[in-house]
Amino acid sequence: MRSILIIKRKFGRIVVASFFFLGVSIVVLLKFFSTPLISHELYSGDVEAWETDGVGGYSYSYSEDAFTEPAADAIPIDEEDDQNSIPEPEEYNQARVLLYSEYVVRHGDIPGRIALQFGLSAGTILSVNNIINDRTLQIGQTLQIPNQDGILYQVKSEKTLAKIAEEQGVTVESIIIANEIFSQQDKGIAAGETLFIPGAKLDKTTFLEITGLLFKWPTTVHRITSPYGSRPDPFGSNRRLFHAGLDIGAPYGTPVYASMAGRVSFTGYNGVYGNHVTITHGAGYKTLYGHLSKISVKEGSYVDSGQEIGKVGSTGQSTGPHLHFTVYKDGATVNPQKYLK
Pick 28 or 331 by higher pLDDT: 331
What is the average per-residue pLDDT within 298-313?
95
Q: Which of 35-44, 56-65, 90-99, 143-152 has the highest mean pLDDT?
A: 143-152
Quick check: 213 pLDDT over 50? Answer: yes
Confidence of residue 44 (pLDDT cuts 50, 70, 90): very low
How far, CA to CA in Å, does 55 sit from each of 49, 307, 341? 9, 29, 21
Specify if 32 maps to a domain. Answer: no
CB 269 within 8 A of CB 228: no
Pick 23 or 131 by higher pLDDT: 131
| Integer Cα distance of 97 and 176 in angstroms | 9
CB 198 within 8 A of CB 150: yes
| Integer Cα distance of 92 and 148 in angstroms | 8
Specify if 155 maps to a domain. Answer: yes
| Integer Cα distance of 341 and 324 in angstroms | 17
Pick 337 or 12 by higher pLDDT: 337
| Integer Cα distance of 163 and 152 in angstroms | 16
Specify if 322 maps to a domain. Answer: yes
Instruction: Tell me which H or E stretch contains 290.
Output: strand 285-295
How many CB atoms are located within 10 Å of the residue 225 CB? 14
- Write down the pLDDT at residue 38: 31
Mean of the per-residue pLDDT values of the chain: 78
Quick check: 235 pLDDT over 60? Answer: yes
Instruction: Express each pLDDT in 241-266 by its tens digit.
Output: 889 999 999 999 999 999 988 999 99
Same domain flag for 82 and 203: yes
**Residue 237's domain is classified under what CATH number?**
2.70.70.10
Same domain flag for 272 and 171: no
Confidence of residue 53 (pLDDT cuts 50, 70, 90): very low
Domain holding 79, by residue range, is 47-210
Same domain flag for 235 and 203: no
All residues at 6 or more sequence positions from 324 whose CB lies less than 8 Å from its CB, including other chains: 245, 246, 247, 273, 276, 288, 289, 290, 291, 318
| Integer Cα distance of 310 and 294 in angstroms | 5
